[in-house]
Structure formats: structure tokens, C-alpha cells
Amino acid sequence: MIAPTDRITAGYEVAWAAAQHGDREAIVCEGRSLTFREVNERANRLANALRGRGHDTGERIGVLLHNSIESVDSVFGLLKSGLCMVPLNTRHALPEQIEIANDAGLSGIIAGAEFKETVQALATSIEGLRTTVGVGWNPARPGGTDFDELLADGSPEEPGVELEPRALMRLTYTSGTTGKPKGVVGTHKRHLARLGNFFASCEYALGREHTMAQVGPLSHVAGNYLQPCFMRGARTIILRSFDPGALQQTIVDFKVDHLLLVPTMIVRLVDALQPDRYNLSSLKRINYGTAPIPVEVLRRGIAALGPVFRQHYGMTEAESPLTLLYPDEHVIDGTPEETARLASCGRPVAGHRIRIVDDEGREMPVGQVGEIAIRAQGSAELEYWKQPELTAEAVRDGWFLTGDLGRFDEAGYLFIVGRKKDMIISGGFNVYAREVEEALFRHLDVLEAGVVGVPDRDLGEVVAAMLVAKPGATLDTAEVDRFCREQIAGYKRPRLLMFAETLPKNANGKIAKQEIREAFARERSTAAGEVTTVGARY
């Protein structure tokens, strides 16, 4: 444990891992390969170069990069520098980037060549921005430099930055799927608590003999595994983005045994499996989380790939794992109680206390739905950047109110039924979006489903669903409505249907419910009570 008066060396654990694993292969990305020692040296160079330019502990440095060797450099280099990393969402529009950059008060930015125009706009919009680093380009402005030139200027020696455990390490903005993004403060103390929780709570079977492929953005969710893999001596294969075919080929080529996927990726992967072409027998773990997964998709995945799935529950405000559903608990042939737990996210880990509460903060009995509350300690210690009123609203009596709705069963398994903001009240009845989505996923031709509530004059809200058909299939309004009538109660049945090529998603692959609501608000044209089709392309 870290005492409040202790001082720590920023990123010491990266240097430790490099000494442990030395010249073994650590990172492979698009034909480039780095050893553990080389990764550590590049991180040192970046840290020393930035501090040599006058950047001091706690200053915020924005990172706008797709997955690459340089994105690894940025994660480890900023950690060791004592500066604060602010990961910028590669999918955000320019006004969103400007809003977040100004809110964070960036003094520097590291960006890929594909974001030249964004960086140029930010340079004229952010007061105090004095260093701009281009990966694959040289920004033409004061303080502009090429990434490789910056690394060459930095010393390979350990920076040895000493700081207080509560020093700012990372400022992560919420994904904004339901509203305006908020900055979540990440301190070095919270970071070390998360690592401790990660290793203490899980049977990760993660070591020097293992290889993990990363397809999500390393600056966001996928980064949760980057440092644990590095510390354990596991090899990391980095893909620029998620593509089911390319991922299967990578698993074969590198004998990948670990993955981290969000549910929308699992949906696509399971649908695209080609066992006659790709031998995926090396795969031993598919870690997943960030959002509920359709039980029907999970069943199909287990049937095709075996007992390889492990679920984590977590969020920006309280990083995973908060709960775990182990591979052996993913039961498709067992008792009703066992198979029902496929819809759960497992049981709380040792490092976190979780309870279900009502609107007054009173703990709810087993089986009843309420808001999920987490003891705000360790990696769940929460502070919103420059918004103390939001922090006070989210943390009450030491418990962080997640906004997720859930229930516990008798054996302590946690079931998430949806977001509090996603609960639809139609004609006085509570409708949980996830329950409707689960029903829609049982339709053989549905690949993706996103359910939201749409304001209605008579019922308050009506249930609306955006659907994506499987390749080669078509979805018909009347058929989907008939199917829903057989699966769920009438008041839960979608009254509005929208068919799309894909669901809108954020950089982490999570479904952007707010964009779905906005699409229905734009295109709704008939009265509630009728099943209506509206067109959309994403």
C-alpha cells in the first residue's frame, strides 16, 4: 500500500519489466518489432525530451493517434515523464476535439499525420499549447517537431521523476454516448491501485509464454491490458483497427492466445468465423466488457470456440475488473441457474465492494433492480476534472453511483439490466433496453440491435430499435414485429424500427445510443402506436 506521504518514481514498473524480460520480443505492429528493453528506452527518450522542453509534472499532453508503435511510446513515455496523458478520441469531430482540448488545458499534443487539419485548428484554439509533435509529419508552427526527431533528442536514461502518489497521471474523457463528455481524473495512486486489483483479482494465466492481440484503441480500453502484458512478459500484437478476417489471420500467424474485445466486436467476429480457413485453436481467452453482450451471441461463440470467454465489468470512472465471470462460469449446458448466469457480469472482485441501491441510497434486497453503487476507493476513487458539483452528485457517502441498473441473484452474481438513462417508461411501464435487445438478437437475421426510448405525446416514450441485418439477409418490418410479439410483452415491443448498415459507435466500439436517439428524432414521421420503418445509413 502507498502511504499518503510517500513519493513514487513515475513509471518505475515499466523499467522493472524491461529489466526482467530484456531482449525478448514485446511489441509487434505492422511489420515492426520491439523488445522489452527497446520499448523502455523509447519511453525514456520521449519522457526526457518532453521534460527537456520545459514540460513539468502534471501538465496535460493530448494524444491523437491510431494504434501504432508510437501510441505505445506515448502511453509509457508520458507515464514515466510525470506528465498527464489526455487520450483524444480519433472519431471526434473538430468542435468536440477543441472542447476537450480547452477543458483539459493542453500544453502539448502528439498526433498522426491523418490529423494534420485537426491539429492546425487546435493550435489556433488552445491558449497555452506550446509543443506539437507529429508522427510522420512535422507541424509547421512554433514548437512543432517530428516524433522521431523528438525521440532522438531525448536521453535513453531513466527519467527518475519523483512525485506524490496523487499527482495527475491521466485525464480520460467519458465516451459521451449519452451526453457531454466529462474528464475523469486519474492519479498515479489510482493507476497503481488498478494494477494491483488487476493482478490480485484474476486468474489471468498471463505470462512470458503468452501472446495477446490488441484491436481496440490502445489510448482507451485496450490500454488496460497493455501494461499488464508488458509487466508479465507477454507479447503484444497490435492491429490498427478491428477487422474480423484480419484478426483471424493474425491469430493464426502469431498463435495468439489472448484477446480483448468489446461485445460489438464479438458479434462481428462470431458471425465471420471461418473454421475451414482459420485454425483458431491457439485461442485460450477472449476477455470482454464495457457493455452487455447478447446471450445468444455468447452461446454461439462458446459453441464455436469453446470455454474461452471471460467477462469484466468496468467503466471510465471505475476501471475494470469490478466483477468477473470466469470461463468455467460461461455454461450453455447446465442447470437453469447456471445457464441464466450467461446474462450476468459475474461476481465482485476482492478489491471492490458493490451494492444495489434505490433512489434514496438504500440497499435493495436480492433480486430487485436498482442502481449499481461501488465503494469509491482504490481504482474506483472518483473525481471529475474541474467539476466538483458532478463529483458530489456521483459520489454519495463514499459510494460511486454508476448510473447502471442491476440486480444480484442469490449466489452473488451481478446482472446489469441497462443504463438508468436507457430505462424507457412507456405508458407507465418500465422497459429495460437490454431486455428488448436480447429478444431482437434471437432473430436469426439480426446482426446488431440498439434500443432507445423516443419521446411520445401519449405514452411518454415509445420503444425504438435500430437494426443491422446479417450479410446476405434482409429484415422486414412486419416480420420483426411479428417476431417481437412472440418474444416479449406488448408494451416492450419496438414501435419504431430503423434499418442501418451498421450501428453508430464510439472509438471504443460501444454503441452510441445518443446518436440513435438523434436519428429517430430527425426521421420519425408518424404517430406512436404504429410500427414504422425509417431509413438510415451509417
Domain locations in the chain as residue ranges: 38-163, 423-535
pLDDT for the residue 295:
87
Instruction: Give CA angle at 182 (176, 187), nearest 5°.
Output: 125
Please determine whether the domains at 38-163 and 423-535 fall in the same fold group of CATH: no
Alpha-carbon distance of 275 to 100, in angstroms, equals 44
Q: Are 172 and 316 in contact (CB under 8 A)?
A: yes
pLDDT for the residue 455:
87
**Grid coordinates in use for 400?**
460511486
According to CATH, what is the number of the domain 423-535? 3.30.300.30
Please list the pLDDT of the chain residue by residue as tens digits (538 residues).
Answer: 444 458 999 999 999 999 999 999 999 999 999 999 999 999 999 999 999 999 999 999 999 999 999 999 999 999 999 999 999 988 888 888 999 999 999 999 999 999 999 999 998 888 889 999 999 999 987 689 999 999 999 999 999 999 999 999 999 998 544 456 799 999 999 999 999 999 988 776 789 999 999 998 888 777 889 999 999 999 999 999 899 999 999 999 999 999 999 888 898 899 999 999 999 999 999 999 877 788 888 998 999 999 999 999 998 899 889 999 999 999 998 898 889 999 999 999 998 999 999 999 999 999 999 999 999 999 899 999 999 999 999 999 999 999 999 999 999 999 998 888 778 888 777 888 888 998 999 999 999 999 999 988 777 789 999 999 999 999 999 999 999 999 988 889 999 999 999 999 877 778 888 899 889 988 765 444 455 544 433 3
- The pair phi, psi for residue 195, each rounded to 5°, is -60, -45
Helix (H, G, I), strand (E, B) or coil at 240: coil
Q: Are 256 and 282 in contact (CB under 8 A)?
A: yes
Q: Are 50 and 60 in contact (CB under 8 A)?
A: no
E-assigned strands of 378-445?
395-396, 399-408, 414-419, 424-426, 429-431
Alpha-carbon distance of 326 to 344, in angstroms, equals 11
pLDDT for the residue 181:
73
pLDDT for the residue 1:
44
pLDDT for the residue 529:
45
pLDDT for the residue 91:
81
User: Distances from the Cα of 178 to the Cαs of 56, 182, 263, in angstroms?
Assistant: 34, 11, 18
Q: What is the pTM of this model?
A: 0.84
Helix (H, G, I), strand (E, B) or coil at 25: strand
pLDDT for the residue 502:
92
For the chain, helix (H) and strand (E) counts, in that order, are 16, 29
**Grid coordinates in use for 438?**
436480447
Return the closest-CA partner of residue 176 out of 477, 535, 518.
518
How many CB atoms within 10 Å of residue 12? 15
Right CATH for 38-163 from 3.40.50.920, 3.40.50.980, 3.10.580.10, 3.30.1540.10: 3.40.50.980
pLDDT for the residue 536:
37
